[in-house]
């Protein structure tokens, strides 16, 4: 019994040590955007975003290729890439920021509310944003998530008047990532 308790304590300290150093990566982070109007709901999802979290500084970066977003209907995906996002011209969306009030204990604590401030780049336009987020250990792994709204016009994305009633003025963006130590 004492051996089992000692092993549990050592495992906890080893986990804290691993989570408190270096960098963490997720190569299959989830990003979605959702638009809801009385005429239509639109959901674009990608499970191919990459994110890196620096465990020393609290800096965080995300990147997703626009062509990895998928929709229920192929025509929506085509319009998204060709007409709205112009994915051939602007192939990526990126975020580079930092966790406000960061300290290393956030990486070994249970999920908690945080704020992240940084530069969001969409459609060739970069803006500073601050978003609420959640970060910490969930099911034994370092996890992070956020949900925030963006206005397409703020990023130079023109919505034709013909479909204006089908696309919300604000899009809800959701991001979820489960991190592993970088290099594993």
**Average pLDDT for residues 109-125, to the nearest whole number?**
97
| pTM given for the model | 0.83
Residue 79 binned pLDDT confidence (cut-offs 50, 70, 90): confident
pLDDT beyond 60 at 184: no
Domain ranges of the chain: 2-181
Residue 65 near residue 48 (C-beta atoms within 8 A): yes
Domain at 2-181: CATH architecture = Beta Barrel (2.40)
Tokens of 42: 């639109």
Q: Which long-range contacts (CB under 8 A, 24 or more apart) does 72-77 make?
A: 72/43, 76/42, 76/44, 77/44
CA dihedral 82, 123, 180, 111 (to 10 degrees): -110
**Average pLDDT for residues 93-99, to the nearest whole number?**
97
pLDDT value at residue 135: 97
């Amino acid at each position: 019994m004492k051996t089992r308790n000692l092993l549990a304590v050592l495992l906890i300290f080893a986990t804290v040590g691993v989570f408190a150093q270096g960098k963490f990566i997720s190569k299959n982070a989830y990003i979605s955007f959702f638009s809801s109007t009385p005429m239509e709901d639109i959901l674009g999802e990608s499970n191919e975003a990459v994110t890196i979290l620096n465990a020393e500084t609290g800096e965080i970066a995300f990147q997703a290729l626009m062509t990895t977003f998928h929709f229920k209907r192929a025509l929506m995906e085509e319009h998204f890439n060709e007409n709205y996002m112009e994915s051939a011209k602007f192939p990526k969306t990126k975020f580079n920021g930092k966790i406000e009030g960061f300290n290393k204990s956030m990486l070994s604590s249970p999920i908690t509310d945080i704020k992240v401030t940084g530069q969001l780049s969409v459609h060739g336009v970069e803006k500073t944003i601050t978003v609420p987020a959640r970060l910490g250990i969930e099911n034994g792994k370092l996890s992070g998530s956020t949900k925030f709204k963006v206005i397409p016009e703020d990023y130079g994305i023109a919505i034709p008047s013909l479909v204006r009633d089908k696309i919300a003025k604000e899009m809800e963006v959701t991001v979820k990532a489960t991190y592993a130590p970088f290099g594993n």
